[in-house]
A and B are shown apart, each in its own frame.
Chain A
Amino acid sequence: MDGSAPVIEVDAVVTRFGAQTVHDGVTFSVGRGTLVGLIGGSGTGKSVLLREIIGLHRPTGGHVRLLGTDIWSAPANQLDAVRRRFGMMFQDGALFSSLTVAQNVAVPMHEHTRLSRATIEALVALRLMQAGLAPDVGAKMPSELSGGMRKRAAIARAIALEPEVLFLDEPTSGLDPITARGFDRLVRELVDDLGLTVLLVTHDLDTLLGVVDRLIVLARGRVLADGTVAQVMAVDDDWIRDYFSVRRIAGHGS
């Protein structure tokens, strides 16, 4: 268990859709136990990059290593082993609508462990509470949940197997500010308590300013800036200035 090896390595990734180049040599790496935010304007391929890291979309060129495994050249069984070690929360939760919340959280446990039913039930209750949900939510169907609860349920499923890495796609989009801040705290707690590495795609400035350890900015197909929020804000670039100036105006207004 060496704590120094990077958990996520993105190396010169190139992505093209037809004639349109989305990524033109994106490179960065993320170490264990950090909470990293990935930002960029619309159409800069943040979500696509996320899908490339977790093995859902093949990049046109370059390498992605997750937990030391090259995602796009590893054999299937090795890839399955890696899949058990990371969790992904999709933008709208992607909960299975035919299962209750508790059954949703239990799916990876039934699939990948040989634990007894009673233990899995207790573990599901623990996961729901870690995600900030009351245990009786487990009996509900996903369609009965509010947006914020659906996202929490999705987190509970994503952390079901004690992943080392957690990917979040727009975790706070569509949430009211109070719920969103609660969600930020939750993610921060997971990083601190479980030692998770988190990579999140977001547009939420409060998330970035509040809980993120490090910020990666994608623009024009490349990594435009990479560092703490203060470091990124100091970068001399129009897009970054515009991005954060919205915040400054809002701050002065109140």
Chain B
Amino acid sequence: MSNPTWFEIEAPDGRTSLKLIGAWRLQRLAEIEAALLGLVLPPVAQVDGNTLAEIDSASALVLLRALHRAQGPAGSLNWVGFSAVNARIIERVQVHLYTAPSAPATRRETLLAHLGRQASLLAGLLVGHLNFLGATMAAIGELLRSPGRLRQRELTVQIEQAGLAAIPVVALVTMLIGVVIAYLLGLQAEKYGANIFVVDGVGIGATREFAPIIVAVIVAGRSGAAFTAQLGSMRLTEETDAIRTLGLSPMQVLVLPRVLALMISLPLLVFVGDVMSMVGAMAIAGPMLDIAPPAFLARLREALDARHVFVGLVKAPVFALVIAVIGARMGMTVGRDTRALGAATTSTVVQSIVAVILLDAVFAVFLQALDL
């Protein structure tokens, strides 16, 4: 069964002959390749195929490469005793071997070139987002002139998916955030006997900063990613092209309903977040800080200015616009393969979260300057 000799070199009458033995198949090719490694032949030699049972094209390739190496470029070979099938396979491989130009070498990029390329990609991305934002605004303007063009059904569906369906997760997360803030503040406040001021901290902190940020991050992960995935796969299946050919505008049909739905839903979700974080804080304030719910609510009325709540709610549609524009644009410009879609979806989430936090910082600075 096992056949360790793949070839023999004979020189009966001064003419060197390479006698091939056995079945040369891909399964054993690693052994064959190793055996051929030290092969040296004179410039004129004979290859004997009488004892070669069979050879496949991969083995033929390895054989031809080894012969070329063993003889040098000026060698000449005399092929004898090959069966018609084997001769044909070797011949076909030989044709391919000599017409094959060397494959172009791939160049490695230097660190500086990589940095430059990434920077210009990022700049292109930002300019593209800005363009898309402009196009979205133009489309909204068009909609204001002829409100009948609004896709009400699509808008309703999107509000349901992005808003209504997000309520449970938003409620759960913001309630837990309320619990955590109240707990951490409570630990400090207790030391000074300032228990009641926990209500001030939670009230202002949650409504002004935490609820909008947390809800925006959740929505970026939920809806932003979904927009990219939906629009991206529609692009892959050429549905967006079909929309365009049918004389409809993908901007009006696909993008605007999503942008508007998110801008309507996010403030509502932030309000849910505001309420739920108060509920969470109230739930832990009772047992931990001896602040019963009536006392908590009474203090909340005194401490929490309405403007803090409004600041939080005003930020929400801006966050929504940014998330929706990034999500939709990444979907509309995704490359036409499955890997690009996955990469674009991931990128949407990362970009949205960074953009939300960046915008929140900008809001903080400006509102501070305006004494709000």
Residues of A within 8 A of B (CB): 1, 84, 97-98, 102, 113-116, 119, 121-123, 125-126, 129-130, 135-136, 138-139, 141-143, 161-162, 193-195
Contact = CB atoms under 8 A, between A and B. Distances in A.
A84 B96 CA distance: 24
B66 to A, nearest CB: 10
B25 A143 contact: no
Nearest to B89: A193
Contact of B26 (A98, A102, A113, A121): A113
A161 B58 CA distance: 8
B80 interface: no
Nearest to B60: A126
B99 A129 contact: yes
A98 B57 contact: no
Interface in B47-89: 54, 56-58, 61-62, 65, 85, 88-89
Given A97-B337, A97-B338, A121 B103 contact: yes
Give 8 closest A-B pairs by Cβ, nearest first: A143-B337, A114-B30, A97-B337, A129-B96, A162-B26, A162-B56, A97-B339, A98-B339
B117 interface: no
Contacts of A136: 101, 103-104
A135 B30 contact: no
8 contacts: A115-B29, A115-B33, A119-B29, A121-B103, A122-B65, A125-B100, A130-B92, A136-B103
B94 to A, nearest CB: 11
A210 to B, nearest CB: 21
Contacts of A1: 54
A125 B57 CA distance: 12
Contacts of B26: 113, 161-162
A123 B97 CA distance: 10
B73 to A, nearest CB: 17
Contacts of B106: 139
Contacts of B340: 143
A102 B335 CA distance: 21
A143 B57 CA distance: 29
A32 to B, nearest CB: 13
Contact of B30 (A115, A122, A138): A115
Given A1-B54, A125-B103, A143-B337, 6 more contacts: A98-B339, A119-B33, A126-B97, A126-B100, A135-B101, A162-B56
A102 B105 CA distance: 13
A97 B336 CA distance: 10
B91 to A, nearest CB: 9
A113 B29 contact: yes
A193 B103 contact: no
A158 to B, nearest CB: 14
B28 to A, nearest CB: 10
Given A119-B33, A119-B62, A193 B104 contact: no
B241 to A, nearest CB: 16
Given A116-B33, A162-B56, A194-B89, A135 B100 contact: yes
A143 B335 contact: yes
A125 B336 CA distance: 26
A125 B64 CA distance: 14
A139 B58 CA distance: 21
A162 to B, nearest CB: 4
Interface in B2-59: 25-27, 29-30, 33, 54, 56-58
A113 B26 CA distance: 8
